[in-house]
């Protein structure tokens, strides 16, 4: 806050208004650590640029520049007023009124300004009261606000998930009414909000809200398709959708990682396509393979990798989710298995072993009989493999840089191959996880004979 205060003092000294606005005011009032401090001012971008030695013109068109103080970026945005909005694009103009700027913001809890010099909070729409009531409420008339910008429908659910708030009744009624407008919003922007929902502290509630609003079938149709898919009573007390939701609820409690949580939500998407009757019993033969294949279509179709909330490209995201879905049955199938089979499994799971075990645990916890003893015994057997199983934590005894130097390789495919091969060999127990052993092994496999022989 000190540097934000510096920016604000500087602007005020030049005769402008300046406040901290948006998410950081909300987070500060909640006693959370704000991520970033956005600043709003009546100075134009050009006037802001003139006040500071280091300014990056990040979005001058939208009235935003980034002031850098001690290497920390602050977005400084000129007060704005919407002239015309129609769903996806708004025409804005600058204004000199803070209240006007706050009134175009989406929810009351996001429409407050903070004066760091006096400690005063400017709160024209009752944002602080809504923070105490823990509700998301539109500034102004909800239906009109969702008409202006359709993405707000999803933002309401995203904030409910992140803050563990409820959406208050009139706002929720408008969400239900305007949800179909999301059809007009780009898949990338939807994906970004979806990751916000999946990563929220109340992610389970978030996905329930998506479902109630009828937009789960737009965002994750493979999950919505699990509704009403019946399962054998002997193992399950829930249909596939409710089973997946219950598993997801456990995932929300057991990991903050949105990718692992999504894997849990998706682990059974192969079931509807593989459901069959065999001697009167219901089966889902091969659903984990089919599910993994479906993940390969879902991720690009929904542009799931195109969000700064996850730091994976599409290929990495697909591989990670596919591995978790494909192997989710393996531990319970392998229980009681011996060394070689277990080591093969560990090698397949690779660096994702912990994540996979978490997915399996969530799945088990959503069964009629979770058989946690069996699961625990399996975990114990894996641990008893000794150092080989530690590979997922251990990574490699040599850093990428060390391998580059050793083999004289530039960064690239061949270096990647060498790294992977080393990890595989370590997992398989072919060499001890020590630097010297790793060097010798790499030189033998990948060392090019030098010119002098």
d(CA 55, CA 242): 51
> What is the distance of C-alpha 196 from the center of its chain?
6
Residue count at the site for ligand ATP (CB under 6 A)?
12
3-state secondary structure of 293: helix
Distance between CA atoms of 51 and 7, rounded to whole angstroms?
9
- Which structure tokens are listed for 352? 């994702």
Interactions with ligand ATP, residue window 136-165 (CB under 6 A): 149, 151-152, 155
- Interface with ligand ATP, residue 110, by CB under 6 A: yes
Cα→Cα distances 252→226, 357, 358, Å: 20, 15, 11
Give the nearer residue to Mg ion in terms of CB position, either 108 or 244. Answer: 108
Q: Is 199 in the site for ligand ATP (CB under 6 A)?
A: no
Residue 106's binding partner among ligand ATP, Mg ion, none (Cβ under 5 to 8 angstroms by kind) is ligand ATP
Containing 75, the helix (H) or strand (E) segment is strand 72-78
- Among 47, 285, 434, 137, which residue's Cα sits nearest to residue 425? 434
Residue choice 11, 18, 23, 193 for contact with ligand ATP (CB under 6 A): 23
Residue in the structure block whose two tokens are 């919407």: 82
- Indicate whether 308 belongs to the interface with ligand ATP (CB under 6 A): no
Examine residue 35 and tell whether it contacts ligand ATP (CB under 6 A).
Answer: yes
Among ligand ATP, Mg ion, none, the one that 367 touches (CB under a kind-dependent 5 to 8 A) is: none
Closest CA to 206 of 223, 184, 228: 223
Read off the tokens for 234: 């002997």
DSSP secondary structure of 406-419: HHT--SSHHHHHHH
Which region among 105-113, 173-181, 198-206, 394-402 touches ligand ATP (by CB under 6 A)?
105-113
Beta pairing, strands 113-115 & 18-21:
antiparallel
> What residues contact 345, with CB distance under 8 A and at least 6 apart?
327, 330, 331, 334, 337, 382
Q: Does 130 bind ligand ATP (CB under 6 A)?
A: no
Q: Which is nearer to ligand ATP, 27 or 166 (CB)?
A: 27
152 close to 145: Cβ distance less than 8 angstroms: yes
Q: Indicate the residue among 13 and 72 with the shorter CB distance to Mg ion.
A: 72
Residue 22 in contact with ligand ATP, rule: CB under 6 A: yes
Please give the residues from 390 up to 419 whose contact with Mg ion meets the rule CB under 5 A: none
Q: Which is nearer to Mg ion, 23 or 199 (CB)?
A: 23
In the complex with ligand ATP, the residue whose CB is nearer, 35 or 444, is: 35
Distances (CA, A) of 33 to 29, 118, 251: 10, 20, 24
Q: Which of 16, 23, 197, 298 binds Mg ion (CB under 5 A)?
A: 23
- Name the one residue in this structure whose structure tokens are 């089919």: 290
> Nearest approach, Cβ of 139 to ligand ATP (angstroms)?
8
Give the residue at shortest CB distance from Mg ion.
Answer: 23
CB of 63 to Mg ion, least distance (A): 16
Smallest separation, CB 34 to ligand ATP (Å) = 8
Candidate ranges 20-28, 212-220, 297-305, 422-430; the one touching Mg ion (CB under 5 A): 20-28
Alpha helix (H) residue ranges in 228-278: 240-254, 258-266, 271-274
> In the complex with ligand ATP, which residue's Cβ is closer, 26 or 261?
26
Nearer to Mg ion, 90 or 437 (CB): 90
CB of 339 to Mg ion, least distance (A): 51
Separation of alpha carbons 74 and 66, rounded Å: 5
**Smallest separation, CB 239 to ligand ATP (Å):** 34
Angle at 314 between CA 311 and CA 320, to 5 degrees: 75
Q: Residue 221 Cβ, how far from ligand ATP at the closest point, in Å? A: 25
Which residues make up the interface to ligand ATP (CB under 6 A)?
A: 22-23, 35, 38, 105-106, 110-111, 149, 151-152, 155
């Amino acid at each position: 806050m000190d540097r934000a205060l510096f920016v604000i003092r500087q602007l005020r000294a030049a005769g402008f208004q300046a406040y901290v606005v948006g998410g950081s005011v909300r987070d500060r009032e909640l006693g959370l650590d704000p991520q970033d401090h956005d600043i709003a001012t009546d100075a134009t971008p050009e006037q802001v640029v003139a006040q500071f030695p280091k300014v990056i013109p990040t979005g001058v068109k939208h009235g935003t520049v980034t002031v850098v103080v001690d290497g920390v970026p602050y977005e400084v945005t000129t007060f704005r007023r919407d002239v015309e909005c129609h769903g996806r694009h708004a025409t804005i103009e600058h204004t000199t009124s803070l209240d006007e700027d706050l009134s175009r913001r989406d929810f009351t809890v996001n429409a407050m300004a903070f004066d760091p010099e006096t400690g005063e909070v400017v709160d024209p729409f009752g944002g602080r009261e809504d923070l105490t009531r823990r509700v998301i409420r539109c500034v102004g008339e909800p239906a009109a606000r969702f008409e202006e910008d359709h993405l707000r429908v999803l933002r309401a659910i995203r904030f409910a998930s992140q803050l563990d708030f409820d959406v208050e009744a009139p706002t929720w009624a408008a969400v239900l009414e305007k949800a179909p407008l999301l059809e007009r919003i780009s898949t990338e922007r939807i994906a970004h909000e979806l990751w916000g929902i999946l990563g929220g502290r109340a992610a389970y509630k978030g996905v329930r809200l998506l479902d109630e609003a009828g937009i789960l079938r737009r965002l994750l149709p493979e999950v919505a398709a699990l509704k009403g898919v019946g399962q054998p009573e002997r193992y399950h007390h829930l249909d596939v959708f409710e089973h997946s939701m219950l598993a997801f609820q456990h995932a929300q409690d057991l990991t903050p990682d949105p990718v692992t949580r999504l894997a849990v939500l998706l682990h059974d998407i192969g079931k509807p396509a593989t459901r069959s009757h065999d001697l009167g019993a219901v089966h889902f033969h091969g659903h984990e393979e089919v599910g993994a294949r479906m993940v390969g279509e879902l991720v690009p179709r929904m542009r799931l990798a195109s969000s700064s909330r996850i730091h994976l490209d599409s290929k990495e995201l697909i591989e990670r989710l596919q591995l978790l879905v494909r192997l989710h049955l393996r531990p319970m199938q392998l229980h009681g298995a011996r060394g070689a089979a277990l080591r093969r499994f560990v090698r397949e799971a690779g660096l994702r072993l912990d994540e996979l075990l978490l997915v399996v645990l969530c799945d088990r916890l959503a069964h009629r009989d979770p058989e946690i003893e069996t699961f625990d015994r399996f975990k114990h057997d894996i641990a008893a493999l000794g150092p080989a199983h530690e590979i997922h934590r251990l990574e490699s005894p040599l850093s990428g840089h060390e391998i580059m130097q050793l083999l004289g390789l530039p960064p690239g495919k061949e270096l990647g191959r060498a790294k992977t091969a080393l990890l595989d060999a370590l997992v398989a127990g072919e060499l001890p996880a020590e630097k010297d052993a790793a060097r010798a092994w790499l030189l033998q496999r990948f060392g090019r004979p030098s010119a002098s022989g």
